[in-house]
Structure formats: structure tokens, C-alpha cells
């Protein structure tokens, strides 16, 4: 694996902010399977093209997306609730895997004393449960859920909220994201966006906003080549 582009990070980093689904946790593929089951339960096709556009969006904006494409009578809330039942059952029975390279990256950042936060479109309660389930919650100084902000990604509010909770300036924050909406939000926040694509091949305009594009979190430790304290 290697870098697709290789500008250097500044020597002083104020904080590192992580997305969760598809970036730290290998959940997007599972979510897609659960979505297929839920839509079929209600007699609908998967509508995968619309679903893929929802990556990085919070529940409110995802509902608006589906109603815009499929009409106001589309039973999004009922399907979403069934989807959540499937997802929660799966996590309870089988757990969830973290993405390759995550633990090494978190372990590498710890002695460098760089504050870390999670900024996820997932509801805070669900995010805390998942992060605890995979054993990484203790690495983070703050967690901001999609239900804690008024505007979801690609609006920068969630990242600015994370920076505020960490008491750091936005310009010094490095953001790891897998979704186009997340990269747009990080860029709009004036932060340093690092793109690690998952299921979606990012469009050219999103690639242009990323400070670095990595094939995997396994490549991420090389970004932080300054010594530990």
C-alpha cells in the first residue's frame, strides 16, 4: 500500500478527529446488507444508488434524500427502524470489526499527546456503544454524534463542535474521513482533511479537497513523523 499523494503535515497538530462508520469501523458493508433486508421486508427494491448517496449524512438528511428521490409517501422511517433492528441484532450477536490499521494509529498517537475526537453522523448513544464494543472508546477525549448538531455533514458544524470540545483551533485539526460529505465538511471547517475511501469512489472535486488520500489507515502513521513526547 502507498500514498496517492504525499504533502507533509505541519509539525504542530492541535487534534485528530475521526469519522466512525466506514473509517474506523467496517460497518458500511453490513449496513448496506441490512438496508437490503429492510427494504425487501417492505416490498421495495434496494435503491442502492440512493442509499450510497447517504454515506456521511445524518438521519434527518438521509430521510430528506430518500423522500426527494422517492416521494413523500416513501416509508423511510419504518424502513430505517427495521434497518436499525437488524444492525443492532448483528452487533449484539457478532460484534463489529475495526478497520485495518486503526489500532496501530491510535497507539502511535497516544504518546504524542494529541487530543482525539470522534465526529460521526451516527447518534451519540449508538456511537458510544459501538466504540466501547470494539474497545477503542478510551482513546478519545470527545465524541460528537449526529444528533448533537443542527446541521449534518457536509456542513462543518460537527467538526467545529468537536474542535470546541477539545478546545483547539480548527486550523490545527487533522480529520480522517471516508465519505465525500465528510471531506467537504472538514474542508469547510478549515481543517486538514485526510481521505481514506471505503465503498464510494470519491469524485474528482472531493479528491481535490483532500490534503492526503490514503489507501488504508495502515498508511496513516507515516503522516505523523514527529517524535513522541
**Helix, coil or strand: residue 18:** strand
Whether the CB-CB separation of 196 and 183 falls below 8 Å is answered with no
Enumerate residues 6+ apart whose C-beta is below 8 A from 81. none
Secondary structure of residue 195 in the 3-state scheme: strand
Side by side, which strands form the sheet with 116-119? 142-144, 116-119, 15-18, 173-177, 192-195, 212-213
Residue 19: active-site member: yes
Task: Spot the catalytic one: 5, 11, 19, 155.
Answer: 19
Q: How far apart are the first and last CA of the chain?
A: 28
Q: Where in the sequence numbering do the catalytic residues fall?
A: 19
Amino acid at each position: 500500500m502507498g500514498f496517492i499523494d504525499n504533502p507533509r503535515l505541519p509539525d504542530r497538530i492541535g487534534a485528530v478527529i475521526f469519522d466512525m462508520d466506514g473509517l474506523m469501523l467496517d460497518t458500511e458493508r453490513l449496513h448496506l446488507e441490512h438496508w437490503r433486508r429492510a427494504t425487501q421486508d417492505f416490498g421495495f427494491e434496494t435503491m442502492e444508488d440512493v442509499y450510497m448517496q447517504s454515506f456521511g449524512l445524518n438521519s434527518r438528511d438521509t430521510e430528506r434524500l430518500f423522500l426527494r428521490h422517492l416521494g413523500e409517501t416513501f416509508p423511510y422511517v419504518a424502513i430505517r427502524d427495521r434497518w436499525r433492528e437488524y444492525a443492532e441484532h448483528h452487533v449484539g450477536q457478532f460484534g463489529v470489526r475495526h478497520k485495518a490499521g486503526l489500532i496501530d494509529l491510535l497507539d502511535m498517537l497516544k504518546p504524542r499527546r494529541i487530543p482525539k475526537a470522534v465526529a460521526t453522523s451516527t447518534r451519540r448513544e449508538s456511537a458510544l456503544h459501538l466504540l466501547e464494543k470494539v474497545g477503542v472508546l478510551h482513546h478519545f477525549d470527545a465524541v460528537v454524534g449526529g444528533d448533537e448538531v443542527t446541521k449534518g455533514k457536509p456542513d462543518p458544524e460537527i467538526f467545529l463542535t468537536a474542535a470546541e470540545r477539545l478546545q483547539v483551533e480548527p486550523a490545527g485539526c487533522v480529520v480522517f474521513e471516508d465519505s465525500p460529505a465528510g471531506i467537504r465538511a472538514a474542508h469547510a471547517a478549515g481543517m486538514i482533511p485526510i481521505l481514506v475511501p471505503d465503498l464510494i469512489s470519491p469524485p474528482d472535486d472531493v479528491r481535490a479537497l483532500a490534503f492526503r488520500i490514503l489507501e488504508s489507515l495502515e498508511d496513516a502513521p507515516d503522516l505523523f513523523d514527529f517524535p513522541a513526547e
